[in-house]
Amino acid sequence: MTLQLRLRDLREDSDMSQAQMAALLNCSQQTYSRYESHTTEIPLESLIFLAEHYKTSVDYLLGLTDTRKPYQRKK
């Protein structure tokens, strides 16, 4: 349940609609809505994109950590 709540909260905090997020992910608004309601699994590439877009980590999106700050990346 954490993933869909975090996706919705982050999207709303960014003042974006589901249609705008769907356009960024190159999917339909209906598909993105299913991501937020967790009736469709999010492809890994989309999950990574969302983490980068929101400047957070996949672990945060999945509820594995409550730390919103992303991890430092290897060079």
Residue 67 located in a structural domain: no
CA angle 2, 43, 37 (to 5 degrees): 40
Residue 58 located in a structural domain: yes
Question: Would the pTM of this model clear 0.85, i.e. be above it?
Answer: yes
Confidence of residue 74 (pLDDT cuts 50, 70, 90): confident
Q: pLDDT by residue (tens digit) across 7-53? A: 999 999 999 999 999 999 999 999 999 999 989 999 999 999 999 99
Residue 70 located in a structural domain: no
- Separation CA 27–CA 22 (nearest Å): 5
CATH number of the domain to which 56 belongs: 1.10.260.40
- Element housing 27 (H / E): none
Residue 71 located in a structural domain: no
Tokens of 24: 């960024």
pLDDT for the residue 58: 93
When divided into structural domains, the chain yields a total of: 1
CB-CB contact of 61 with 3 (8 Å): yes
Structural domain span for residue 43: 2-62
Residue 72 located in a structural domain: no
Residue 49 located in a structural domain: yes
* 3-class secondary structure, 15: coil
CB-CB contact of 4 with 62 (8 Å): no
Residue 55 located in a structural domain: yes
